[in-house]
Amino acid sequence: TVQSRGRLVSYKAEDIIKRVQQALHNPQIQEVWFTGEDTLAWGLDQNSHFGVLFDLILPLFADSRKMIRIGMTDPESVVENADQLVKVMQHPRVYKFLHLPVQSASDSVLKVMRRRYTYQQYEKLVIYLKQQVPEITIATDFIVGFPGETEEDFQMSLESMKLLKFPVVNITQYYVRENTMAARMEQLDEKVKKHRSKVAAQTAVEQFNRSQYIGQEMEIIVGSILPNYKYQRFCEGKSINYLSVLVQSTAPTFQEAIGDLKVGDVVKVKITAITRVALVG
């Protein structure tokens, strides 16, 4: 990871707070994103950690309707700070969404990848997060076909998908990166990598079905207006766990449907259908 990304460098807390304050005072901004190569590794190079930063930031949102989205985070940055992570995720202005790539459910593969966590630590963290933040959407990544990955290793990753039932799974077929240790290792046959990628993708899809949300009522934050009124859908927004929701109306015209609704408003919808990538209500 260090070879491909470089060393960790965190912005100063005061600089981040200044940017947040600017966003809070900008009426055009409805979401504040915290992002980086490893977002919640913030502060590790300053003898601090993400909990300290969010203790300063979250109070700024006390009187705001704007939402916070936390970007991708490596498990090694949070496995020892689960309670701090839960505290942040439970805040009402934080989307219950976390991109937490596991990469593999095999400790032997993780070791070769030079990941500084075990699969057991990852699984324990995910289960704890689901217990403490029931609405949470956890997205993850798996790399298949990594040098040295055996069929047993691959099956462990499939079993992880079946156990944890991730709502969002990104499957990546390993490819060679120059100047990395893995590039110098014996590579798996391309046919094996392609087959495992296909099986993993199919398994991921089978474990999560958006139809489970049909009939549920949820509040969404309007993110965009859809003026073409296609299928009588007039706006799109995000649920608290960052699922995309298309809102439709029985009104005959777009103007009647939209009324005085604007971006940033909160509306309650009942989910009636699903598409390949969104809920409809």
pLDDT value at residue 1: 41
Q: Which residue has the tokens 């260090």?
A: 2
Class of domain 2-209 as given by CATH: alpha beta
pLDDT digits (tens), the chain, 281 positions: 444 456 889 999 999 999 999 999 998 898 999 999 899 999 999 999 999 999 999 999 999 989 999 999 999 999 999 999 999 999 999 999 999 999 999 999 999 999 999 999 999 999 999 999 999 999 999 999 999 999 999 999 999 999 999 999 999 999 887 777 777 778 888 999 999 999 999 999 888 878 888 999 999 988 888 888 888 888 899 999 999 999 988 888 888 888 888 888 889 999 999 887 789 99
**CATH tag, 213-280:** 2.40.50
The CA–CA distances, whole Å, from 184 to 60, 146, 147, 191, 194 equal 49, 12, 9, 20, 20
Backbone angles phi, psi at 86, to 5 degrees: -60, -45
Backbone angles phi, psi at 222, to 5 degrees: -65, 125
Q: pLDDT by residue (tens digit) across 131-183? A: 999 999 999 999 999 999 999 999 999 999 999 999 999 999 998 877 777 77
Q: What stretch(es) of the chain map to CATH 2.40.50?
A: 213-280
pLDDT value at residue 257: 83
CA dist 247 and 258 (Å) reads 10
Distance between the two ends of the chain, CA-based, in angstroms? 42
pLDDT value at residue 5: 56
pTM for the whole structure: 0.89
pLDDT value at residue 2: 42
CA dist 259 and 265 (Å) reads 12
Q: What stretch(es) of the chain map to CATH 3.80.30.20?
A: 2-209
CA dist 256 and 39 (Å) reads 42
